[in-house]
Structure 1
Amino acid sequence: MTDDSNHPRPPRDSGPNLYDQVAEETASVVIRRYSTSFGLASRLLAPPVRRHVENIYALVRVADEVVDGGAADAGLDPLAAARVLNDFERDTEAALDCGYSTNLVIHAFARTARATGFGRELTQPFFESMRMDLVQTEHDAESFDAYVYGSAEVVGLMCLATFLQGSTVSPAELARLEHGARKLGAAFQKVNFLRDLSADFETLGRSYFPGVSVESFSEADKTRLLEDIDSDLRDSAAVVPLLPASSRRAVALAQGLFTELAVRLRATPADRLVTSRVRVPNPVKLRIAAGALAGRTPRTTLSSRTTTPKAAS
């Protein structure tokens, strides 16, 4: 036991203490190790906003590992993974209430949630979607919409809360921004489903898109799915100019990267999509980043692309 009389605690203020700082540094490491595209986009966020967004995505990433990666690698069966996920959710909710957790990622997330004003109304559907991954391998239209809302759209709403911290917007403006945030989250998720068709089916045994069979995936299937993604990207791009300057360029970059992915998915034959993963080459990412940095408005439709890229594998 240490002698606290020789090491008096500094007075607490409203800013982060050492534990808070370590928690947020942990969140930053988690997300940067898992996502290079996220790391690129996050550099365009103002530092306070970047910290909050990293805190959100770190918790999302850890929860995803419970259902898709680390838990299975450790030998946990779905029932054991479900117990871990339930414990993770309970710890998150407790931290939302009290502002503290011994889990550094949860602690960082709770700091952001409490500071920016969201809570269980967004975390509960998120964890419910994560639980669906443990028990459900196929979806109908209703369960697909519920899954996309909980796994992606609510994350967009969490991020929007951080973007708007300290801003005043009218109810009508907020409704437009929330619609755009949900649509961008949905587009991200659907693009990733499409580029991961083979891996999701062969490795995880999942088929997310209703009525789509990986074994018989066709050009018609691909076109139909991309038209839906195109609609989401149009809606989300329309509200990017309404965002505060502290987040606008980063969101424009994310919008641009996923629009480019959708363009490349459209250019890739359906039979190749089920055997390879489409990527955006680094030089193209840098070009899109330069455009976002210069304040150029992201494309609002896939058809605005006048050239057809080579399909990336």
Structure 2
Amino acid sequence: MNTPASQIATGLALYDRTAMDAAAAVIARYSTSFGLACRLLGPRPRPHVRNVYALARVADEIVDGPAWEAGLSAEQAAGVLDRLEEECLAAIDQGFSGNLVLHAFARTARECGIGPDLVGPFFASMRVDLQVSRHDTASHDTYVYGSAEVIGLMCLQVFVNAGARHPVTPSPELADGARRLGAAFQEVNFLRDLQDDRARLGRDYLDLASPGDRAAVLDRIDRDLAAAARVIPDLPADCRRAVTAAHDLFAELAARLRATPHDETRVRVPDAVKARLAMRAMLGFAPRGAHA
């Protein structure tokens, strides 16, 4: 059946919809696991979370290889990243960008209360990837905050505020859980990508000197996942299943990393296990470790 002409989006509404479609396309191309979890979100937060992750993905690509493949030097890539941040902040301020991904993110940021206090640390960590090849404890913690914990906080702003008339500040308990879940995700990815980060990108995020150091990272991941699991039930109902599925997927990855002492092969979760974890979340089961 044809859509009545009066219901066809035009002007800014059409541009908004196109921008959100562009953000969704970015996520669909880059992350099947994230796409699976995102489909478990309700329609209220789903497009906004896609918008957040699309911006993060574009920034990642500037510092993780495609810019170099296009012939850019590190200095030129840094300039592209600087301009992206400037355009992002301007889009949040003005409510419009000629970059569709930035426009989608700005729409989310304005509705959900995401400001420079979160955007700034994210871009600072992306910039570090062009400057630092080996991290110590202090630089590691700062990097993880900007690259992962603030993404958790941005998503929390979406979970609490999407569709609201005025954004509010989430509780400290939810904010702590969001930060720790983001940190756990990042640490798992550091361990999974250890060899590739060293060989292809020349980066060492963890500076593991002994098997005991690796075990300590896994212990930290387990503590962060357990802390996050305890507050997931306090999220809005249309977010809990998706966050539970993502949490449990990374808990499964952490368990497989602990059972695999060597890092030559990238640990993954078979599709059948992913489907089981997603179904478990869909049925409303609490996240793994929620009562630990």
Answer whether TM exceeds 0.5 for this pair.
yes
2:178 is matched by which residue type in structure 1? A
State the Cα distance separating 1:221 from its structure 2 match: 2.4
Runs of 4+ in 1 over 6 A off after TM superposition: 10-13, 167-171
Cα 1:222–1:167, aligned 2, differ >3 Å: closer, same or farther?
A: farther
Unaligned runs of 5+ in 1: 1-9, 305-313
Which residue does 1:181 correspond to in 2? 178
2:130 is matched by which residue type in structure 1? L
Deviations 1:112-135 (A, max 9, x none): 000001110100000000000001
SS at match of 1:295: coil
Cα 1:11–1:232, aligned 2, differ >3 Å: closer, same or farther?
A: closer
Preserved CA contact (<8 Å) 2:51 2:104: yes
- The alignment's TM-score, normalised by the length of structure 1, stands at 0.86
Which residue does 1:265 correspond to in 2? 257
1:109 aligns with 2:101: no
Choose from 262, 272, 277 the match for 1:283: 272
Cα 1:227–1:168, aligned 2, differ >3 Å: closer, same or farther?
A: farther
Unaligned runs of 5+ in 2: 1-7
SS at match of 2:257: helix
Cα 1:168–1:26, aligned 2, differ >3 Å: closer, same or farther?
A: closer
Q: Distance in 2 between matches of 1:140 and 1:265?
A: 22
1:120 aligns with 2:107: no
Q: Distance in 2 between matches of 1:122 and 1:175?
A: 16
Preserved CA contact (<8 Å) 2:88 2:106: yes
Cα 1:189–1:11, aligned 2, differ >3 Å: closer, same or farther?
A: closer
State the Cα distance separating 1:73 from its structure 2 match: 1.2
1:222 is matched by which residue type in structure 2? R
1:242 is matched by which residue type in structure 2? D
State the Cα distance separating 1:75 from its structure 2 match: 1.1
Map residues 184-223 of structure 1 onto 2, 5 A cutoff. 184-209=181-206, 211-213=207-209, 218-223=210-215
State the Cα distance separating 1:281 from its structure 2 match: 0.3
Map residues 155-174 of structure 1 onto 2, 5 A cutoff. 155-165=151-161, 166=164, 174=171
2:33 is matched by which residue type in structure 1? S
In the comparison of the two structures, how many residue pairs are matched? 282
Q: Distance in 1 between matches of 2:75 and 2:204?
A: 21
SS at match of 2:104: helix
Deviations 1:36-78 (A, max 9, x none): 0000000110112110000000000000000002211101111
Q: Distance in 1 between matches of 2:39 and 2:130?
A: 34
Q: Distance in 1 between matches of 2:283 and 2:9?
A: 43
Q: Distance in 2 between matches of 1:227 and 1:145?
A: 16
State the Cα distance separating 1:178 from its structure 2 match: 0.3
Backbone CA RMSD of aligned residues: 2.0
Which residue does 1:254 correspond to in 2? 246
Which residue does 1:153 correspond to in 2? 149
Choose from 80, 93, 96 the match for 2:92: 96
Q: Distance in 2 between matches of 1:154 and 1:195?
A: 21
State the Cα distance separating 1:212 from its structure 2 match: 1.5
1:204 is matched by which residue type in structure 2? L
% of aligned pairs identical? Answer: 54
1:229 aligns with 2:204: no
